């Protein structure tokens, strides 16, 4: 399977990272939910590698949220990095447990995963000339029009009318058996690859555990420096800020809840209205508690922590 150019640079760290990133891209077009599930696995393995490289890896059964909290406690996940890890985790959980996810979320998550991979590479290598290049978008999702769907269904029915029941049954059985064999083979390969990755993590942990305190100190500064180079476009920056605002109790959607699209303050509702006009131009977000404006938030290309603005707004509620 040809590897994705968006994740190929991670091969020097762990081939399973490349495989998971590549598989996520392959699923993006037809199955964004499975894409998100693979990216959840990518985020889990990446966090485990961070831990193992500084002697903090526990085992493969440790919940991701607990591991992220431990890494954050040791200052190994600067703010932006921690947010991206949690975005992958939450989107992946929704995909895994509720089969929720669409192409918009999947595309954002692919970008987040790549930025985390770049951060990881910069943190754990001395490659000062590393240039990951631009993100290469996966193929666009297929969108059958209603006319096309009807035509395809007509052709399927026509084909069935020209084949006997026995032929159809035999063909169906053959297809099901082939699919079963392929699925079983893929599952065996995935299990073997995952087991190999866990063994590498344990070996790495064994090598680093005796130097854990020293490695953590050495890594913190590099992790923070690498975090300053995270580069998300404005759209992804706004989606991250949307998530922070929603977590703090505001209704936020920078693509739909905007002044230009008719969103206005409402009694009894905490609203983050995008592109709100002010005397100094348009604010990226205006936070309202009911009819009262309590804070303005500006989005930057590199997402900033908006907790200060949120805290200010909450004190005024």
Q: State pTM to two decimals.
A: 0.78
Burial of 296 (0-12, 13-18, 19+ CB in 10 A): middle
Q: How much is the pLDDT for 180?
A: 59
Number of Cα atoms under 13 Å in the Cβ half of residue 70: 17
286 φ/ψ angles, rounded to the nearest 5 degrees: -120, 125
What element of type H or E holds 252? strand 251-252
**Is 131 a residue whose pLDDT tops 60?**
yes
Spatial contact of 135 and 121, defined as CB atoms under 8 Å apart: no
**pLDDT confidence tier of residue 126, bands split at 50, 70 and 90:** confident
Rounded Cα distance, 199 and 178, in Å: 32
pLDDT, tens digit (0-9, with 9 covering 90-100), for 265-284: 999 999 999 999 998 888 88
Task: Report the alpha-carbon angle 232-296-264, nearest 5.
Answer: 105
2 φ/ψ angles, rounded to the nearest 5 degrees: -60, 140
**pLDDT confidence tier of residue 316, bands split at 50, 70 and 90:** very low
Rounded Cα distance, 172 and 116, in Å: 43
266 φ/ψ angles, rounded to the nearest 5 degrees: -130, 140
**Is 167 a residue whose pLDDT tops 80?**
no
Looking at the DSSP assignment, which residues form a beta bridge with residue 289?
270, 292
Closest CA to 30 of 92, 87, 101, 88: 101
Rounded Cα distance, 292 and 314, in Å: 12
Q: What percent of the chain has pLDDT over 90?
A: 46
**Is 117 a residue whose pLDDT tops 70?**
yes
**pLDDT confidence tier of residue 64, bands split at 50, 70 and 90:** very high
What mean pLDDT is reported for the chain? 84
Give me the mean pLDDT over the 297-314 stretch: 61
Rounded Cα distance, 45 and 122, in Å: 17
Residues 6+ apart with CB under 8 A from 164: none
Residues 6+ apart with CB under 8 A from 233: 111, 301
**pLDDT confidence tier of residue 208, bands split at 50, 70 and 90:** confident
**Is 17 a residue whose pLDDT tops 90?**
yes
**Is 311 a residue whose pLDDT tops 70?**
no
pLDDT, tens digit (0-9, with 9 covering 90-100), for 144-165: 556 555 655 655 665 666 555 5
**Is 196 a residue whose pLDDT tops 90?**
no
Q: What percent of the chain has pLDDT over 70?
A: 78
The residue ranking higher by pLDDT, 177 or 95, is 95
Spatial contact of 113 and 43, defined as CB atoms under 8 Å apart: yes
Number of Cα atoms under 13 Å in the Cβ half of residue 126: 1
The residue ranking higher by pLDDT, 220 or 307, is 220
Give me the mean pLDDT over the 11-23 stretch: 92
The pair of structure tokens assigned to 232 is: 């998300």
Q: Torsion over CA of 231, 233, 234 and 240, rounded to 10 degrees? A: -70
**Is 23 a residue whose pLDDT tops 80?**
yes
Rg (alpha carbons) of the chain, rounded to whole number? 23
């Amino acid at each position: 399977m040809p590897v994705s150019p968006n994740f190929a640079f991670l091969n020097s760290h762990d081939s399973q990272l490349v495989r998971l990133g590549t598989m996520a891209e392959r699923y993006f077009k037809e199955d964004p939910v499975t894409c998100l599930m693979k990216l959840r696995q990518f985020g889990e393995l990446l966090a485990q590698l961070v831990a193992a490289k500084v002697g903090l890896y526990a085992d493969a059964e440790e919940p991701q949220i607990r591991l992220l909290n431990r890494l954050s406690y040791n200052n190994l996940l600067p703010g932006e990095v921690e947010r991206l890890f949690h975005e992958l985790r939450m989107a992946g959980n929704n995909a895994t447990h509720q089969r929720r996810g669409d192409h918009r979320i999947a595309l954002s998550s692919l970008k987040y995963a790549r930025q985390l991979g770049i951060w990881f590479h910069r943190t754990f290598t001395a490659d000062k000339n590393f240039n990951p290049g631009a993100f290469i978008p996966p193929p666009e999702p297929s969108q059958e029009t209603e006319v096309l769907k009807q035509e395809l269904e007509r052709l399927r029915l026509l084909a069935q009318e020209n084949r006997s029941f026995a032929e159809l049954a035999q063909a169906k059985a053959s297809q099901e058996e082939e699919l079963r064999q392929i699925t079983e083979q893929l599952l065996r390969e995935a299990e073997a690859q995952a087991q190999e990755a866990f063994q590498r993590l344990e070996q790495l942990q064994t090598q680093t555990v005796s130097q854990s305190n020293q490695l953590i100190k050495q890594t913190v500064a590099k992790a923070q420096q690498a975090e300053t180079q995270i580069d998300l476009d404005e759209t992804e920056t706004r989606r991250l800020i949307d998530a922070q605002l929603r977590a703090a109790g505001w209704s936020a959607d920078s693509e739909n809840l905007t002044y230009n699209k008719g969103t206005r303050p409402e009694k009894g509702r905490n609203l983050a209205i995008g592109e709100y006009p002010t005397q100094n131009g348009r604010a990226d977000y205006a936070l309202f508690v009911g009819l009262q404006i309590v804070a303005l938030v500006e989005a930057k290309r590199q997402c900033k922590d908006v907790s200060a603005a949120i805290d200010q707004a909450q004190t005024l509620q």
